[in-house]
Structure formats: C-alpha cells, structure tokens
A and B are shown apart, each in its own frame.
Chain A
C-alpha cells in the first residue's frame, strides 16, 4: 500500500518563474492538504482540497493555487516565485474533507523548493 507520494523531491527555480508540485494521496484517502515548512519552523497550512474543490485556505497569497483531480491527486502551483518561497512543501492526505473525525493525516516526503 503506497503512502503519500510527492514529486519532484527537489527543485530549483529562478525568481519570477512558476512551479507545479504534485501529490498522490494514500490509497483510500480523498482529501489533500498542502503545507509550507520553512527551515526550523513547523508546517504552515496553505489549503485543502476535497471533492475537487478548495475547502479551506490558510494565510497565503493568490500566487498559491491548486487543483484536485478525480483520482484525488493534487497539484500546488506557485506563480511569480519569490526568494521567500524557498521551503519544504508537504502534502498530507486524510479522509472526509474535515467533516468527519479524521484523526490522522499522513504526510508525504515533501518537495524541497529552492528559489534563486
């Protein structure tokens, strides 16, 4: 049973460019949440997708957008990259879109994005 998989594992981009990160949730899960983790900090919630719609959003600008596909996989897009966007981007999968008492979120290994 594959867990949460993310691609790519590492990425280097230039300021102003756009990037797309991908996530496949754990088998049987239908909800995907994206987090940004700066070095030495805890993960910060970006947004959550359930039933192909953005259900919740953290305090991130519109440059951060996403998508969820019918197979529950998800993409995170970041436009007009800034140096401060350099971080580990984590995807977490769970069940029920936050409506139920889903008590555990499984995290992927993350994508390390470096903006130069």
Chain B
C-alpha cells in the first residue's frame, strides 16, 4: 500500500512564501504530482517530479527526494487567489495516482 501524509491546514500572508510538505511510503515509485483544487472545482495540475531535485514553474516550485520519501511545494509571492487545497499524489509503477488528503491553504491579507 501507500501512505501519503501532508498537513491538514496552513495559513500564510499575502506576498509571503509558503512551503507545503508531503511525505510518502511506497514501492515502485514512479512520480509525484501536485494539484491545486479550489472549493467546488476540479483539481488542476501544478507539477510533476520523478527525479530528485527542484522543478520551478513561475511562482510555484516542487522538490523531490526519493531516498527520503519527501516532497514539498513552494509558493512564492502569495496571492489571495492561491487560497485552495493542495493535493500531493504518488504514482506507483503504472498504476493510477494515490492522493493524500490535501492541505488547505488560507492566504490572509
């Protein structure tokens, strides 16, 4: 099976930087995904890591350490519209994604 852990809730201030952590335990690791989900909407793809290191995409970056079973999503220059749930998901082999419970981020003025 797979265990994916991420904090339930986080609060940050507009303009600041926030890091959302995700730890996982799985065999046959084949990629880690981050999705953003606004309330009542579909998850939207943010990033994908399969090799160790940092992937940067504008204000969003994602890091992976396979040996530690650890990833984080870094959001810079926070905006109010970044208030959403952030889902960490792991692919095992060729299987479909397994999601964590999500981290609800509240950005305050």
- A contacts, CB < 8 Å to B: 4, 33, 35, 40-45, 48, 56, 58, 90, 98-99, 103-110
Contacts and interface: CB of A to CB of B under 8 A. Distances in A.
Contacts of A106: 45
Nearest to A41: B101
Interface residues of B, number: 22
A107 B96 contact: no
B99 interface: yes
A103 B42 contact: no
Given A103-B31, A103-B48, A45 B41 contact: no
Interface in B59-109: 87, 89, 94-102
B96 A48 contact: yes
Nearest to B98: A45
B45 A104 contact: yes
A22 B1 CA distance: 29
Most interface-central of B4, B43, B45, B87 (chain A CB within 10 A): B43
Question: Top 9 closest A-B pairs, CB basis?
Answer: A42-B99, A107-B42, A98-B94, A45-B96, A103-B48, A107-B43, A42-B101, A109-B42, A43-B99
Contact of A104 (B42, B48, B87): B48
B95 A41 contact: no
Nearest to A91: B42
A43 B90 CA distance: 12
A59 to B, nearest CB: 9
